[in-house]
Structure 1
Amino acid sequence: MRRRKKKGSDEKLLSYKDFIVNGMIKQASPKDNSGDCTLFDYRILIEDEIYKDIINNYKGKWNIFFENENPIHIEVGTGRGKFITTLAKENPDINYIALEVKEEVLVKAVEKADKLNLNNIAFLWGNVELLDTYFDDDELDRIYINFCDPWHKNRYAKKRLTHHNFLELYRKKLKNNSEIHFKTDNSALFEFSLNEFCNNDWKLKNISLNLAKSSWTGNITTEYEDRYMNLGMPIYRLEAKDIR
């Protein structure tokens, strides 16, 4: 179903100039779009002012944005931001980037950071498929993926954020020995993800099939996660490290 955008959300989001980075780069389809294109093949990026700003001021320069050399952790699909703003508050020596394409929910996350007066977080309004444009190789220290769209039908498997195409993209952007932390409430997506990680040389640890009943401590929840845990639904979690 097509998403309904809330009028004025983009203007409100961009008004938070201390927090927001506009990564909504315009795209065009190639003239010849025949054949079995992969998720990352079909787009041509328009090199407009937004693109130039990302390339000139952010890609490979996020440490300059944060004015320090602290580790950089990113959450892809940050939603309303409870998870990452809590992490930022509890870990002032880590820099956080919240990536989200939906401006009407991202503005809620920015409002949380503004109220907490956080100075170690940035909000990147953009698309996870453009990580190669937003970041240099080996620029990130950790990636969080929380409750992403499971894309139930097999023909949409390439859209799942734990598909091996995405895992290769994350691998490029992560430093050596860095990790991906993944949570979902969808058992089929978790099974799919376990196989994708294992088949692509990621070492798994802290695997949980019911996070609330596990011995793992220190869990930071999302708004979505809170609702499911209150209903007694299992939450699946893993940590993955590149071992190639």
Structure 2
Amino acid sequence: MRVRNKPWAQPLIDANTELITETPDQFAGKWQGRFEQSQPIHVEIGTGKGQFIVGMAKAHPEINFVGVEIQKSVAALALKLALNENLPNLQLVAGAGESIDTYFNAGEVSRVYLNFSDPWPKTRHEKRRLTYKAFLNSYQNILPADGIIELKTDNQGFFEYSLMSLNNFGLVFDHVWLDLHNSEENENNVETEYEQKFSAKGQPIYKVKAHFRG
């Protein structure tokens, strides 16, 4: 869902370029320099208002996190949240997910998160789904040989499509959860905004963790 342009978004982004960038390609191979410490980098594609990526950065100070959001006004909302936390292991990108392998060098990222991605249910829009083979190829380009993808969604159709697409691409499934919130995995689960919304309605949350073959 598109969000109406917020006039304050661009000035906020322009005033905080140490935390958010609109030109991530210029940092390919140099991301560690934007963090306080050199640590493994995890990337969320479609970070929304930032609840997940900020929560993960708070919970895991030993990992550097990058949140990528295509909608500038939404990225600015994530920036607002991040500014309130002052996390040295968090960076944000206002940019498109399909360009992800121009933002990072090969092996620069160790894990990719796809949380409640737009399911694009119409067949003619398959190529826009973030688990379509072209996107999987982009993730493989920035991950190490055994790099990990984690996906969460409430959409059963998109989840089934994603399992098929990941399998066809040759990824190895580490675990599949058909009801995340009623599993042991939920103990350390950091929720997204959409996740809270859908879970409150009683909808099951699906999750898969998979890795590329080394």
- TM-score over 0.5 for the pair: yes
Give the conservation status (yes or no) of the 8 Å contact 1:14–1:22: no
In structure 2, what is the Cα distance between the partners aligned to 1:81 and 1:3?
15
Extract structure 1 runs of 4+ deviating beyond 2 A: 1-4
In structure 2, what is the Cα distance between the partners aligned to 1:215 and 1:66?
32
Given candidates 109, 120, 125, the residue that maps to 1:140 is 109
Equivalent residue letter for 1:54? D
What's the counterpart of residue 13 of structure 2? 13
In structure 2, what is the Cα distance between the partners aligned to 1:165 and 1:241?
16
Equivalent residue letter for 1:4? R
What's the counterpart of residue 215 of structure 1? 184
What's the counterpart of residue 197 of structure 2? 227
In structure 1, what is the Cα distance between the partners aligned to 2:7 and 2:85?
26
Given candidates 165, 168, 173, the residue that maps to 1:199 is 168
What's the counterpart of residue 86 of structure 2? 117
Change (3 A) 1:2 1:73: closer
Equivalent residue letter for 1:72? I
TM-score (norm 1): 0.83
* Bigger CA radius of gyration: 1
Equivalent residue letter for 2:102? T
Given candidates 37, 54, 65, the residue that maps to 2:25 is 54
Change (3 A) 1:132 1:209: same
Give the conservation status (yes or no) of the 8 Å contact 1:183–1:237: yes
Structure 1: which 5+ runs fail to align? 24-52
In structure 2, what is the Cα distance between the partners aligned to 1:116 and 1:189?
33
What's the counterpart of residue 99 of structure 1? 68
**Matched positions, count:** 213
Percent identity of equivalent pairs: 37
What's the counterpart of residue 152 of structure 1? 121
Structure 2: which 5+ runs fail to align? none
Equivalent residue letter for 1:11? P
TM-score (norm 2): 0.94
What's the counterpart of residue 88 of structure 1? 57
Q: Which region of structure 1 is more displaced relative to structure 2, 6-15 or 58-67?
A: 6-15
Equivalent residue letter for 1:164? K
Give the conservation status (yes or no) of the 8 Å contact 1:144–1:181: yes
Q: Write 1 or 2 for the structure with the bigger share of helix.
A: 2
Change (3 A) 1:200 1:63: same
Give the conservation status (yes or no) of the 8 Å contact 1:201–1:242: yes
> Which structure 2 residues correspond to residues 13-32 of structure 1 after superposition, within 5 A?
13-23=13-23
Secondary structure in 2 matching 1:132 = helix
Give CA deviations for 1:107-142 in whole Å, capped at 9, x if unaligned.
121122111111111111111111122111111010
Give the conservation status (yes or no) of the 8 Å contact 2:2–2:71: no
Change (3 A) 1:2 1:18: closer
In structure 1, what is the Cα distance between the partners aligned to 2:90 and 2:14?
15
Question: What's the Cα RMSD here?
Answer: 1.6
What's the counterpart of residue 33 of structure 2? 64
Equivalent residue letter for 2:141? K
